Amino acid sequence: MLLNGSEILVNTLLDEGVDIIFGYPGGSVLNIYDTLYKYEDRLRHVLTCHEQGAAHAADGYARATGKVGVCIATSGPGATNLVTGIATAYMDSIPMVAITGNVTTPLLGRDSFQEVDIVGITMPITKHNFIVRDVKELQDTIRKAFYIAKEGRPGPVLIDIPKDITAKMAEFEHKEALKVEANTKYITEKALENLATFINESKRPLIYAGGGIISAGASEALKNLAEKINAPVATSLMGIGSFPGDHELYTGMIGMHGTKASNLLATKSDLIIAIGSRFSDRVVSSKNHIKNAKIIQIDVDAAEINKNIKADAYIVGDVNSTLERLLPLVKENKNEEWIGKLKEFKALKAPKNHETYDLTPEFLFNKLNELTQGDAIISTEVGQHQMWTAINYKFMKPRTLLTSGGLGTMGYGLGASIGAKLAMPDKKVINIAGDGSFSMNAIELGTAVFNQAPVIVIILNNGCLGMVRQWQTLFYEGRFSNTTLNRGTDFVKLADAYGAKGFRVTEEEQLEDVLKEAFESKVPVVIDYMINKDKKVFPMVAPGAPISEIISEE
Residues marked as catalytic: 51, 113-114, 163, 467
Q: Is the peptide bond before 524 cis (omega within 30 degrees of 0)?
A: no
Instruction: Report which DSSP code applies to 63.
Output: H
Q: Name 461's bridge partners.
A: 530
Are 25 and 74 in contact by the 8 Å Cβ rule? The answer is yes
**184 φ, ψ to 5°?**
-120, 10
Give the three-class secondary structure for 242: coil
Own/partner pairs for 197-203, CB < 8 Å, 24+ apart?
198/271, 198/294, 198/296, 198/312, 198/313, 199/229, 199/271, 199/273, 199/296, 199/330, 200/330, 200/331, 200/333, 202/229, 202/270, 202/271, 202/294, 203/270, 203/335, 203/337, 203/338
Give the three-class secondary structure for 415: helix
**89 φ, ψ to 5°?**
-65, -40
Ramachandran region, residue 460 (left: φ > 0; alpha: ψ -120 to 50; beta: rest): beta
Instruction: Report which DSSP code applies to 434.
Output: E
R_g of the chain computed on alpha carbons:
24
Are 397 and 427 in contact by the 8 Å Cβ rule? The answer is no
DSSP H helices, 39-82, are: 51-65, 77-80
Buried b (16+ CB within 10 A) or exposed e, 65-101: bebbbbbbbbbbebbbbbbbbbbbbbbbbbbbbbbbb
Are 252 and 259 in contact by the 8 Å Cβ rule? The answer is yes
DSSP string, 332-351: P---HHHHHHHHHHHT--PP
Q: Give residues with Cβ within 8 angstroms of 117, minimum separation 6.
A: none
Ramachandran region, residue 552 (left: φ > 0; alpha: ψ -120 to 50; beta: rest): alpha
